[in-house]
Amino acid sequence: MKQVIRAIGAGMLALGILSSAGIARAEDKVTLGVAIPTADHGFTGGIVWWANKAKADLEKAHPNLKVIVKTAAGSPEQANQLQDLVTVNKINALVIFPFESASLTQPVAQVKKKGVYVTVVDRGLTDTSAQDAYVAGDNTAFGRIPAEYLAKALDGKGDIVALRGIPTTLDNERWSAFTGVLKAYPNIKILDAKYANWNRDDAFKVMQDYLTRFKHIDAVWAADDDMAVGVLKAIDQAKRSDIKIVFGGAGSKGMVKNVMDGAPLIRADVSYSPKFIYDAIKLTAEARLKGEKLPATTIIPSVLITKENAKDFYFPDSPF
């Protein structure tokens, strides 16, 4: 079983020593490629921002490190960028947030076969042998924490509607954790759960449907902060006063600010920050500079954000 290390800082990780194959000796220069999607919505905008911040911070701190950030609007473009990073930029380490899992697995495997150390972030590959390390947010906690919070806030009874993301293993993991908690609360009823594609416009339409069909709703789980924005807009337009809580997810600066300011419907959030790309780049770069490797799997904790700790999760300069 893969060891799961729940840590954010590099100092909290136990790092092993690499075998002789593909070792980057401590005195060698590390050229690290970063392959990520373009900023096509709030979360990926945050991914791009944090990746470039990692490049600036780490190159300043480590003279023997060069970080090359590439953004792609689709899987074919990202696959081509991987070839360029190897043949043109001569990278010896890669951090990739795959645009898609299945279509990028073989291109990443080809990079690894050329001796490049590979860290995959968030969207896992279909064949884990194509990677050396995997870094992601805690999707189980992402679903569990809102369910626990809502159950307590509703005193164990009430009617909930839910908005899921895109049909993926990631979304399934979150949904299973959410519903798993609520099985212990028979007086909480999930009226419906529909996909809204992590999109605020789609969430607005789904929530409009819920508001039409259900005359009483106590709480909404919109499993993404962008979706929560659409939900809030629909509630406001319908002038509904029965809904007590809207719980989003991912810790966007707008939602965290709402928590800080005591917005009536946004009392809490759960972290799943795009900052994990920064953490993945930092952990990979510093390990390779030492000739070391990361654990096979590193999970960045998702934690409950409330008014008491919201300031620790508020990054006003981030686009997300």
Q: 271, 313 in Cβ contact below 8 A? A: yes
Average pLDDT over residues 267-293: 94
Average pLDDT over residues 29-46: 89
Average pLDDT over residues 227-251: 97
pTM of the shown model: 0.73
Among 205, 207, 177, smallest CA distance to 192 is for 207
* Summary mean pLDDT of the chain: 90
pLDDT digits (tens, 9 = 90+) for 170-181: 788 899 999 999
Q: 210, 217 in Cβ contact below 8 A? A: yes
| The pLDDT of residue 102 | 86
Average pLDDT over residues 136-147: 95
Percent of the chain with pLDDT over 90: 76
User: In which band, very low, low, confident or very high, does the pLDDT at 86 lie, cut at 50, 70 and 90?
Assistant: very high
Number of C-beta neighbours around residue 3 at 10 A: 10
Of residues 43 and 270, more confidently modeled: 270
Average pLDDT over residues 285-307: 95
C-alpha to C-alpha distance for 227 and 164, rounded to whole angstroms: 9
Q: DSSP string of the chain?
A: ---EEE-SSGGGS-PEEP-STT---TTS-EEEEEEEE---SHHHHHHHHHHHHHHHHHHHH-TTEEEEEEEESSHHHHHHHHHHHHHTS--SEEEE--SSSHHHHHHHHHHHHTT-EEEEESS--S-GGG-SEEEEE-HHHHHHHHHHHHHHHTTT-EEEEEEE-SSSHHHHHHHHHHHHHHTT-TTEEEEEEEE-TT-HHHHHHHHHHHHHH-S---EEEESSHHHHHHHHHHHHHHT-----EEE--B--HHHHHHHHHT-SS---EEB--TTHHHHHHHHHHHHHHTTEE--SEEEEPP-EE-TTTGGGG--TTS--
| The pLDDT of residue 108 | 97
| The pLDDT of residue 150 | 98
pLDDT at residue 80 greater than cutoff 80:
yes
Average pLDDT over residues 129-139: 94
Q: 149, 180 in Cβ contact below 8 A? A: no
Average pLDDT over residues 100-122: 94
